[in-house]
Amino acid sequence: MSAILPPSDRLWWKTPISGQEWTWIGIAFVWGMVMFGMMLYWHIYGKQNLSNEVYRTTTEMFQAKTDAFVKENTIRTETEQQIPVAKANANNEAFLLARLWSWYPILELEAGKTYKIHLSAVDYNHGFSLQPTNINIQVIPGYEHVVKMTPTKAGTYAIVCNEYCGIGHHTMLGRIYVK
Amino acid sequence: MATTYRTCPRTGLQFDLKAEKLMRWNAVAGVLWLLVGGITALLVILTRWPAIKLLPPDQFYLILTAHGIDMLILWIIYFEIAVLYFASSTLLRCRLATPNLAWVGFWLMAIGGIMTNVAIFQGESSVMFTSYVPMQAAPHFYLGIILFAVGALIGCGVFFGTLVVAKRDKTYTGSLPLVSFGAMTAAIIAVFTILSGAAILIPTFLWSVGLIESVDPQLYRMIWWALGHSSQQINVAAHVSIWYLVAAVIFGAKPLSEKVSRFAFLLYILFLQLASAHHLLSDPGMSAEWKVLNTSYFMYFAVMASMIHGFTVPGAIEAAQRRKGFTNGLFEWLRKAPWGNPVFSGMFISLVGFGFLGGISGVVLGTEQINMLMHNTFYVPGHFHTTVVVGTTLAFMSITYLLVPTLFKREMMFPKLCQIQPYLYGLSMSVLGLVMMGAGTLGVSRRHWDMAFSGAPFQYEWPGAAYLMMGLTGIFGTIAVIGGGLWIFLVVWSLLFGKKLDGGVTSDKPTPIPDQTTAASASATGSEEHTTVPGTVVLAITLLVCFVLYYFVNWKYLSEVWGLS
């Protein structure tokens, strides 16, 4: 008679399903297909899809690449720590390295241009959280993620680390200028 | 295998006394972990409340790690083991298979749980619930979880063994009751979950003692989440079973269709484990095709399953109420429901909260591209506090109001407070989930000690609304802790000082469930004449409308951020 007893009808799988239930199952199925289709649709027509361009790297290799990039493209330094501010190179590429507890270097980009940002971490997992526009990407050591970004509006943006990375996690704040 | 059986005079449920003792101990152990989890919850809330900021960062991360482990693993799985024993030995009226082995499982879980907590409170293992490598905890942090998992695996084995015993001893005829079937779903998912956990935590343990050089951080995330997310799917299967159980006990509700409900549970087994992908949508290491296919549980079949349960559970209640004569209008069946009975009110808040808040937010959060708006923000804990807490924990709390008199043979004390508790806890936790999601939508990070970034080389000022949301998080979080604390108090106090109730007659032999199938099927109300459930249809359509609107609003948000390709 109830859900805590064996089904009263032994051949329960032969009992027909009511129209109301069928309708709801149908609606749930169609809605699932719509949501599935939306992700595919966005891959074709949407303008915000996370890049699949990823390379295996090592912390030493990524550190070396970032250092070379900073050396060639630094336009000034900022704050007492003399953090370099770098422009993207001639191919519109830039490197951004996450480490305990800073984002290195500061980047200066231009609105409307498309850049290839190379993202990786050299110690733990970190989280690239661009504010206030609110884009969040996981940054994992050993993986060089090349993300194509097109800033839309000029301004000063913060990169918050939003993957827990130890005691100084809350001081890990980076910066991107968009002109 | 001599054991004794007792038939509860109030519910007619039959308990194998050996199984009964195991259920009690597992449930009580769960409650004790909930107490530790609740104290840590209060400390976490009071630190994230910007106006209070109670703990220094090292203690905050330590406490947050303990909160995650003690709540998500220890409290819930202990209680689930009790539910598994109940859904097998009690509902099927048979002896529990290998009770001694079940005790081995219990003590392994106890030792494991304590070991991991010792590691955390020693201060060298503040690695969060997820313990992402290459951040390293002390070896006994991992070892404790492994031992706990072995114990839980034994519990699942005892459950499966008990199903075999019931079948062999013919204590029931026909198919398993739906609730036992749902519990079996939970146990099957649990086996998958625990094996995934072993596959990643054993290498990580070996790495922590220096026997393995490294564990790939991306691989770790993928396999760890087959443990971390799938264990939440155990919870879903378990609490959906409890919804059916409460509907059956309070209303005598019969599933609208056994076929539909069982098929929905089967979909859970087939597709829920793909949800590991939900945590990797903004990761570098997986392709877009992999993400789309997995995050949608292979085209949203597990979401469909939850939508089906969301319809059939209230539908079964409505049908039962209408048969009793509550047929006026769309909602008389619901208005005249026993809202003063905490077993029902807790279950119903769990159902609605899980569907409207947890379900919708989970699907939106788990949409490949939209995930970039929310990944690792405060939205994520907001979402899972509406699924695991409003859904699972509240369902477990509500069933406890039933278990204290029947399993522990004690009357619940302070009935007025018992009436209030599900509302206090369920509603404050729901609001907490909402304001956490609100803060996350504005970008506020999870697992973050200081939203003012003191000590950082530059400043970033969150919008004022984000501070407002975090303040509300503090307020409603504190109320929720009080609501949870009230439940622990009521349960513990009733167990210690509640009026002792008659245990009922005992016997050496189990009384099988009477075979009512042949006689009943002739007069069954089921088959052709379905009771229509218009009220449930209205509720379901409301859910769908909220779902569709919120889903597309988030695509709109996404379209406004920087271009990414």
Q: Could you read off the pLDDT of B345-354 as tens digits, one per residue?
A: 999 999 999 9
- Residue B57, helix vs strand vs coil: helix
Most distant CA pair in chain B, distance: 78
Instruction: List Cα–Cα distances, B365 to A39, A73, B360, in angstroms.
Output: 13, 38, 9
The count of other CB atoms within 10 Å of the CB of residue B47 is: 22
pLDDT at residue B519 is higher than 60:
no
Q: How confident is the model at residue B514 (pLDDT cuts 50, 70, 90)?
A: confident
- The pLDDT confidence band at residue B526, using thresholds 50, 70 and 90, is very low
Q: Where along chain A do its domains lie?
A: 18-45, 53-178
Half-sphere exposure of B484 (CA within 13 A, CB side): 28
- Which of these, B495, B336, B503, lies nearest to B401 by C-alpha position? B495
CA distances from B215 to A96, A120, A149, B226, B463 (A): 24, 17, 31, 16, 39
Can the peptide bond before residue A105 be classed as cis, meaning omega within 30 degrees of 0? yes
Contacts with A, B 176-235, CB within 8 Å: 176-179, 216-218, 221
Residue from A26, A156, A42 nearest B544 by CA: A26
- Asked if B483 and B429 touch (Cβ cutoff 8 Å), the reply is yes
Identify the CATH assignment for A53-178 out of 3.40.50.1220, 2.60.40.420, 2.60.40.10, 1.10.1670.10. 2.60.40.420
B445/A129 CB distance under 8 A: yes
Neighbouring C-beta atoms of residue A13, cutoff 10 Å: 13
**What pTM was computed for the model?**
0.95
Q: Chain centroid to CA A97: how far? A: 14
Report pLDDT for B517. 52
ipTM above 0.90, yes or no: yes
Residues A126-155 pLDDT 10s: 999 999 999 999 999 999 999 999 999 999
> What distance in Å separates residue B108's CA from the closest CA in chain A?
30
Both structure tokens of B115: 């070991």
Measured distance CA(B214)–CA(B198) in Å, rounded: 17
- B335/B328 Cα distance (integer angstroms): 10
Residue B276: pLDDT band (50, 70, 90) is: confident
Share of residues in chain A with pLDDT > 90 (%): 91
Compute CA distances B565 → A178, B284, B293, B322, whole Å.
18, 13, 19, 55
β-partners of residue A144 are: A55
Rounded to whole angstroms, how far apart are CA atoms B409 and B375?
46
Domain locations in chain B as residue ranges: 338-504+533-565
Residues 380-439 of B with CB under 8 A from A: none
- Reported CATH class of domain B338-504+533-565: mainly alpha
Contacts of A144 in chain B (CB under 8 A): 284
Considering only CA atoms, which of B78, B74, B72 is closest in space to residue B22? B78
pLDDT above 70: residue A7: yes
Residue B34's CB is within 10 A of a number of other CB atoms, namely 26
Instruction: Give residue-wise pLDDT tens across range B375-414.
Output: 999 999 999 999 999 999 999 999 999 999 999 999 999 9
Of B200-204, B365-369, B508-512, which gets the smallest average pLDDT?
B508-512
Chain A positions touching B255 (Cβ under 8 A) are 3
